[in-house]
Structures are given as structure tokens and as C-alpha cells.
Amino acid sequence: MSAQVIDGKAIAANLRAAVAVETRRVVTAHGLVPGLAVVLVGENPASKTYVASKSRALVEAGMRPFDYHLPAATGEGELLGLVNALNADTAVHGILVQLPLPPQINATRIIAAVDPDKDVDGFHPLNAGRLASGLPGLVPCTPLGCIKLAKTVNASLAGMEAVVLGRSNIVGKPLAQLLLAENATVTVAHSRTRDLPGLCRRADLLFAAIGRPEMVRGDWVKPGATVIDVGINRVSDGGKSRIVGDVNFAEAVNVAGAVTPVPGGVGPMTIACLLVNTVRAACMQAGLPAPGV
Ligand code: NAP
């Protein structure tokens, strides 16, 4: 059996197009141009690439980017000052501080300083609490993208057995909360979990977010399951480097019902969901109804 390969690139392109339609609508009807500030500290090459593609996607969707690139030696006080200024700027509806931050800056303090209404990353403790309590709020982009991908294969996730590998605050935990909200039965696994292969084999929905190249083997996958691979791991292969996921795709594709590739699966959805969160935040701050994306 060969699984359906979930085309994250195409699904993300459709979502971005839908966000662009919503953006045009709020610009035309209300003169509201959603604005996102992206703050990069230092010269991390991967971060620079992410930030550049976020700004490009933002402009394509008709939104206004505010880009800040600060030197690697920036102090925590200086960054907090910028975050506070952006909190007060009414043209800025979303604030994203690209992680990781240099060691002299405490990321937890920076995340907590962002106005929760502008927290398009959904990392602020207030938004994490809202998600855990089933209250409306801004939700982290990567887990949101994972749910949207799973729902392209399964119209309803209700009653499905879901296993989430990984319990980070940015992927595993919020993903588990979103799955609960979809009425799935959720198990969260981590580095201390016993018998991961046996646990994964129970899953109708398997999400891998562990940062371990191709650790999930084909015989961990329940036949017909939906497998969503969040991992982005750079590995060297005969002197060349390439990106692989946390799932052994070549094996999983023979067992699963549907599987995301890496690259081209979850990654493109993360940026598309950032656009969703930005237009949502802008509408929320303007007192407009939530957009239809
Ligand atoms: P993280 O903060 O390092 O968390 C990794 C999680 O995996 C932890 O909960 C850890 O368990 C668990 N884990 C590690 N090794 C394990 C093992 N051998 N067996 C079972 N569990 C194990 O990573 P993250 O930020 O969540 O990211 C996870 C992956 O997703 C990375 O590859 C990252 O690059 C990727 N990612 C992709 C996107 C995207 O847009 N596609 C976005 C974010 C992250 P403990 O808690 O017990 O340590």
C-alpha cells in the first residue's frame, strides 16, 4: 500500500490565498491593514531565512511588515524596550520575536512582555492558558497547521486515537490541547515514555515533533494511520546536507494511509498560519468579527 502524500505546500498556498482575500476585505471595508512586526536578534542563518520568507509571505497577502534586525550583542533591556514600543504601536497588530535568542536574553521574559492580543506566535502564558481552558485566543502556528493538515484527510478527528511525540511548549503541548478540542483521545509521549513503538502503533493520528532524524520507523505506524511529521533535521549524506523529518518517510509511506513529506509538509503551513493569526489579531484589536480563515 502506498499512502496519500499530504501536499503541505499546495494546502498552505490555498490558505495563504484565502488570507489574502480576507485581508483585502478588511482593507477595503474598514481601512484596516494588518501589520506584523518581526524582530530578529543576531545572525543565525536559519532564523534569517525564516524571517525573510515570513516578510515575503506577509507582503504577498497584502499585510504590512515591520522588520527589525538587531545586533547579536543587543541587551535584554533594549529588546524589552522595542517590544513595549511595538505593544503601544496601533499600526502593529502582531509581534513575533524570532527564537532562539542570544544567551544574554531570557526568552521567557521576552515572550511574557508581548501584549497577549498581539502574540501571533501564541507562546504567551495567557494564550497557553486560554488554549488549555478552551477559551478563544491566539494559538501557536505549527500545531494549528498540523490540525489543518490532519483535517484535509479526516473531516472529523472526534474519537480518533491521537499520539503526539514531543511535549515542547511550542509544538507538543499546544498540539495536544488542539486535538482535545477536536474531541480526539490524546496521548503525549516524550523521552521518558516506555515502548514508543507500541504506543505509536495504536495511533489513528500520529504527530512526530521530537527533533530526531527519521526515528519513527515504518513498523511504528498503524496501517492506514495519518502521520504528520513536524521534524526538521539537517543530516549529512555523502558530504551533502539535506533536511529530513522525525519520521522515516520511505518506510512510513508503505504503511500509513496519509503522510506529510519533509520538506513540503508542516513547514509551509506554519507561515500560512502566522498570516491567519495576524489577520485574526488585527480584526480582534479593531473590534471586528473574526475573519473566515
Ligand atoms: P524540543 O523543544 O527539543 O522538544 C523535543 C521533544 O521531543 C521533547 O518533549 C523531548 O522529550 C522529546 N524527545 C526528544 N528525544 C526523544 C526520544 N528519543 N524519544 C521520545 N521523545 C523524545 O523540540 P520542538 O521545538 O518541539 O521541535 C521538534 C521538532 O519539530 C524539531 O525537529 C524542530 O525543528 C521541528 N519544528 C518544526 C517546525 C515547522 O514549522 N515545521 C516548527 C517548530 C519545530 P523531553 O521533554 O522528555 O525532553
Judged against a pLDDT cut of 90, whether residue 102 lies above it is answered with yes
Q: Which residue has its alpha carbon closest to ligand 1 atom 2? A: 168
Judged against a pLDDT cut of 80, whether residue 1 lies above it is answered with no
In angstroms, the CA 76 to CA 157 distance is: 42
Question: 8 CB under 6 A from ligand 1?
Answer: no
CA distances from 18 to 73, 82, 96, 104, 289 (A): 39, 31, 22, 40, 16
Q: What is the mean pLDDT of residues 101-115?
A: 98
Question: 87 CB under 6 A from ligand 1?
Answer: no
- Tell me the CA–centroid distance for residue 242 and ligand 1, in Å: 18
CB 170 within 8 A of CB 197: no
Question: 142 CB under 6 A from ligand 1?
Answer: yes
In angstroms, the CA 196 to CA 206 distance is: 12
Question: Which positions are catalytic?
Answer: 54, 98, 121
94: nearest Cα among 129, 131, 57, 130 = 57
For residue 144, what are the β-bridge partners?
none
What atom in ligand 1 is closest to the CA of residue 193?
A: 20
Per-residue model confidence (pLDDT) at position 237: 85
pTM as predicted: 0.97
The 10s digit of each residue's pLDDT in 18-72 is: 999 999 999 999 999 999 999 999 999 999 999 999 999 999 999 999 999 999 9
Q: What is the mean pLDDT of residues 115-138?
A: 98
- Tell me the CA–centroid distance for residue 165 and ligand 1, in Å: 8
Judged against a pLDDT cut of 90, whether residue 238 lies above it is answered with no
Per-residue model confidence (pLDDT) at position 204: 98
Read off the pLDDT band of 155 (50, 70, 90): very high
Displacement of CA 89 from its chain's centroid (Å) = 25
Q: Which of 111, 210, 269 to mutate to test the pocket of ligand 1 (most atoms within 8 A of CB)?
A: 210
Question: 270 CB under 6 A from ligand 1?
Answer: yes
Type of residue found at 219: D
Q: Are strands 205-208 and 35-41 parallel, antiparallel or unpaired?
A: unpaired
